[in-house]
Structure 1
């Protein structure tokens, strides 16, 4: 159990809503959107400090990778400027800032082929989105606050009703099609948001700070990811391999390993396939109960 108030930024999103459900409701503090206006930096910092939060969990993010290519300002405002201001507030109030980055930040870093990226690998992001996420990490560190930065990848989870539920969208698509397509050339580490919350809470309780990968174990292509979703749901449309055409030059390898968590004996993340099968089962059960 964390002592003191917990300020949850981005509490309505996929990640934030899971934290909201896991933390004692009496501890959670939220701020109105206008208090987080980055064009009023001193007001933002004072608003955060005024909550007297002992922990600030930043789940706010600009997540549209394609849109970021044509709207750099929106991506950097949320993903780079906001974390830095939260970091300044955390420093002034001696709070811990928990911030989430992306394994996509590794980009083309010279890693061997499609080998998953270690926490110790350098960053060389290839998209505006991932450049903004990498800049956010720098902003947090430069703020000089106590911080915990977790790099996530291919995050899924939450209710089937969530508009960005990738897994449920594939199940729905498979029920309405005899043929589907997915990219066999893009690799990552599908990770359940519930597991991220559990791992994060464990690290906070252990008093850990620093930067860590936080993904389910194992690397898989987008094609095999979708195939496993459908298999777990007992749906068998024809699945065709097809390269995904996109504006953003996303690296073909966003997979990672939790090397630092392993070395510290703190890795609680399950294998991607076991976690995904369990999640699909929970979605189908949710549907059967009428959501």
Structure 2
């Protein structure tokens, strides 16, 4: 009998790739949207879990950083309270929970952050995510907390597909602006999915950083994307203050994946190589 995975947040970029790859690995997958399962409603969650009886539940649901800053209670409901609800339901059937967290839990020092660094919660989003980590681990014995890098991947049509959106923007403009003072670790959703599945084959529960190797600024990220598809659009390096937003995000969201190294699961390749692979897979959509 196949192991079963229930994915919450089925409309998201990660859920699309993770579900596809999990099926390729032989799992029986049910991916549900908010309309099909409200992760903050105990009765809705229990009905879905009782009906499907998953071995694993992946919580890929979430709301964005700025929405959390404007309405903090929404973040606490979706990221924190829902973690409690899902963890308790998983514990009832001895399922494993994967709680997708964030790289934005640290500070402004331009360094790479490991699983062993203390958190610095600059935003309401970060606080709601970190408290969700704690709730998940408190209420379920079998939890993988995954803090991932800046995600890209999935279908070109997804509104949060950073790579495709920058290509689209560059095709429509002779000059585009990009922040040179915000740093992170771009991470391909299919690569992330493979590492999560590798974790699920173990009982090494805990908190893991998963990102493609190395880091860059938003400016360097955007420049490399355009270079990879042969676009000559000029990218102007600007300060992040040129993009006013409600949330003051950390200057560095770069991750180092120490626990993947220590567990012998292994780390991912560079973000540059991941972009090249992803762009090649989208050739008909990004041809210039």
TM-score by length of structure 1 reads 0.90
State how 1:8-27 maps to structure 2 within 5 Å. 8-24=7-23, 27=28
Question: How far apart, in 2, do the equivalents of 1:238 and 1:33 lie?
Answer: 40
1:189 paired residue among 185, 188, 192: 185
Matched, 1:252 2:248: no
Give me the CA root mean square deviation. Answer: 2.0
C-alpha change, 1:49 and 1:122, in structure 2 (3 Å) is: farther
User: Structure 1 CA distance, aligned partners of 2:161 and 2:251?
Assistant: 22
Asked if structure 2 preserves the Cα contact closer than 8 Å seen for 1:55 and 1:96, the reply is yes
Q: Flag structure 2 segments of 5+ consecutive residues without an equivalent.
A: none
Q: CA deviation at 1:26?
A: 7.2
Distance in structure 2 (CA, Å) of the matches to 1:36 and 1:145: 23
Structure 1 residue matching 2:57: 3-state secondary structure: strand
Structure 2 Cα separation of the partners of residues 286 and 85 of structure 1:
40
Change (3 A) 1:35 1:281: closer
Counterpart residue number, 1:139: 135
Instruction: Decide whether the 8 Å contact of 1:45 with 1:88 is kept in 2.
Output: no
Report the Cα distance in structure 1 between the residues aligned to 2:263 and 2:41, rounded to whole angstroms.
Answer: 40
CA distance in 2, matches of 1:31, 1:157: 19
Residue in structure 2 matched with residue 7 of structure 1 by the alignment: 6
* Structure 1 residues 35 and 234: CA distance shift in structure 2, 3 A: closer
Do residues 238 (structure 1) and 238 (structure 2) align?
no
8 Å Cα contact 2:101-2:133 kept in structure 1? yes
C-alpha displacement at 1:120, in angstroms? Answer: 0.6
On the 8 A contact 2:11/2:33 being kept in 1, the answer is no
Counterpart of 2:269 in structure 1 is 270
Distance in 2 (CA, whole Å) between partners of 1:257 and 1:182 is: 24
Distance 1:150 1:56 in 2: 13
Maintained 8 Å contact 1:88/1:145: no
- Displacement of 1:5 after TM fit? 2.1
TM-score (norm 2): 0.91
Cα pair distance change 1:105/1:26, threshold 3 Å:
closer
